[in-house]
Copies of this chain bind each other. A is one copy, B any other.
Amino acid sequence: MTDFFDRHRNMLEDALTALETRAFWTPFPEIPSGKIYGETARDDGETAWQNLLGTPFGLPGHPEVGRVGAEVSPWGPELNISYPACDPAMIIETAGTALVPFAEAGVEQRIGALLEALVRLNRMSFLIGHATMHTTGQAFAMAFQAGGPHAQDRGLEAVATAYAELTRSARHAVWEKPQGKHAPLVIEKHWALMPRGIALTVGCNTFPAWNGYPGIFASLATGNPVIVKPHPRAILPLALTVRVLREVFAEAGLPRDAVLLAADAPGAEITRALVTDTRIALVDYTGSTAFADWIRANSRALIFTEEAGVNSVTITGTDNFSGMCANLAFSLSLYSGQMCTSPQNIYVPKDGIETDEGHKSFDEVALGIKSAIDALLSDADRAAGVCGTIVNPATLERIAAARAAGEVIRESAGTGHGRSATPLLVKVAAGEGMQDAECFGPVSFLVPCDNAEDAIARASAIAREKGAITAALYAIEDATVERAAKAFAQAGVNLSVNLTGNIYVNQSAAFSDFHVTGANPAGNASLTDTAFVASRFRRVMIRRPKAA
């Protein structure tokens, strides 16, 4: 027995409080500073990263029939790291051996180990930052946050939400039913918390840790062994995670095979073989709607998804035109629009809007956003630091196709660092077009609308029909905000209103913002609500008459 649970009890309790109040809270600082992470943390992370390159990644005791790994940094270099490869049946078989001991270890043992793993991962945030940067193509500052503390926040959120639900009702009860004049019926009851089975997390290329941790940690917390199937271009961040988990599990007396890495090669993915195996009871998936549909049609598992969508900005007016343009410029440029929260369609009344700078025509609004992007990205290094690189070459083809969708307001171009592309802005016609589907990457469509009401109606309609994770609104009148709030609530999309400062529609804060509502086609999993954890385990009772 270890004392991990006691050691981290305060952090867990703070997390539980934050989940209720939804106020700002995190135990994992987001600033990549030596003052916070230790004077040598930056250099240590860099050294650890360099030492990993070109080596076989060690996972002691992990099943292995060969090696696989072909990661190439979108910034340039090949990683030349190899990972254990095994066939899907073998890895599921191995996970199965952990099922009973992992469940029987009990709630505190598992939760304690998971909290310890998160704290150790946090200490490794610089290394994870490099690993994330060179698999996702994010700039380092973003990679540090998204792969490090922000992902750890989401993991902790899942653990805390699971803990709350696992402990919601008594594990033992004495049930005493009055029988009038006779002695009462007295029954002793005990509930075992049983995991659903073997879980599978299918990772994505852009946010392997941030999008992977919620499902991984929720399933582990509720007792399900987890097979982590990373995207073949973004294995390292999740391989590091699996290694830390296995180390802590071994120390905690838990079966380390309760978490396994199912690495594969581009073009030889084993996802389908894993998903269709009837022993897989849970699937967490982040990716395209087409593949999510395939999983739904071919798996018997309970499935949690984050899928495609069309995020929107609706501009009906603003009392801070330059602030709005600067804010949107950053939102559109950040990681070159490759966030599930990046805005795509910008709905603006065709006759323009009222602003603190007077009336602005549609074209003046478009120009304001364009100019703000140009200003933001005028320095090549800064541009690379904001935009990062393009993780998937197919995105460059989409940019090319989007140019033909209308009038190019702002041209996309490389930053000069890695495979990169700055935002393309295209003014489209009001009718149907390319803007009606997700166009993943640094592409935004400016859509002229009849008026503010029409803009709200279009933005909320596309969220309802195609899915959306974020929506932004700029409005002066409270009445407009209220009407929009109803429309977007009914479309099931989180709405950010009048963001002009250092907070962006792309950002989703753990413990406060529920990421994805589950109420439109952009996904059925909300990070992290009770529904995300409650059905990952089941309660099974044994009852018997109490001895007199």
Give A contacts to B, CB under 8 Å: 19-24, 100, 165, 168-170, 173-179, 185, 187, 189, 191-192, 194, 196, 481, 485, 488-490, 492-503, 509, 512-514, 517-519, 526, 529-531, 534-535, 538-545
Taking CB as reference atom, which chain B residue is nearest A185?
B503
Taking CB as reference atom, which chain B residue is nearest A503?
B185
B529 touches A530 (CB 8 A): no
Q: From residue A462, how far is it (CB to closest CB) to chain B in Å?
A: 16
Majority secondary structure of chain A interface residues (helix, strand, loop or mixed): mixed
A542 touches B196 (CB 8 A): no
A430→B262 CA distance, assembly (Å): 42
A529→B169 CA distance, assembly (Å): 9
B20 touches A495 (CB 8 A): no
A22-B173, A22-B175 given; 12 more Cβ-contact pairs under 8 Å: A22-B189, A177-B509, A185-B501, A488-B542, A492-B538, A493-B540, A494-B543, A495-B540, A501-B545, A517-B539, A518-B535, A530-B534
A495 touches B543 (CB 8 A): yes
Q: From residue A76, how far is it (CB to closest CB) to chain B in Å?
A: 33
Taking CB as reference atom, which chain B residue is nearest A532?
B534
Contact of A174 among B20, B23, B192, B194 (CB under 8 A): B23
26 pairs of residues in contact across A and B, judged by CB atoms under 8 Å: A20-B169, A21-B170, A21-B173, A22-B189, A23-B175, A168-B530, A175-B509, A185-B501, A185-B503, A194-B517, A194-B519, A489-B540, A493-B540, A494-B541, A495-B540, A496-B544, A497-B542, A497-B543, A498-B544, A499-B544, A503-B545, A519-B540, A526-B538, A526-B539, A529-B539, A534-B534
- Residues of chain B with a CB closer than 8 A to A519's CB: 194, 196, 538, 540
A509→B21 CA distance, assembly (Å): 34
A489 touches B529 (CB 8 A): no
A509→B497 CA distance, assembly (Å): 48
A312→B209 CA distance, assembly (Å): 45
Taking CB as reference atom, which chain B residue is nearest A519?
B538
A492 touches B540 (CB 8 A): yes
Taking CB as reference atom, which chain B residue is nearest A180?
B31
Contact of A538 among B165, B503, B517, B535 (CB under 8 A): B517
- Residues of chain B with a CB closer than 8 A to A493's CB: 540
A512→B177 CA distance, assembly (Å): 11
A21→B167 CA distance, assembly (Å): 11
Q: From residue A425, how far is it (CB to closest CB) to chain B in Å?
A: 25
- Residues of chain B with a CB closer than 8 A to A500's CB: 545
Taking CB as reference atom, which chain B residue is nearest A534?
B531
A178→B23 CA distance, assembly (Å): 12
B488 touches A185 (CB 8 A): no
A23→B185 CA distance, assembly (Å): 12
A534→B531 CA distance, assembly (Å): 5
A502→B545 CA distance, assembly (Å): 10
A263→B496 CA distance, assembly (Å): 44
A545 touches B498 (CB 8 A): yes
Contact of A23 among B176, B529, B539, B543 (CB under 8 A): B176
A493→B541 CA distance, assembly (Å): 7
A525→B185 CA distance, assembly (Å): 28
A521→B176 CA distance, assembly (Å): 31
Taking CB as reference atom, which chain B residue is nearest A170?
B22
Taking CB as reference atom, which chain B residue is nearest A484?
B542
A363→B488 CA distance, assembly (Å): 69
A543→B187 CA distance, assembly (Å): 49
- Residues of chain B with a CB closer than 8 A to A496's CB: 542-544
- Residues of chain B with a CB closer than 8 A to A485's CB: 192, 542
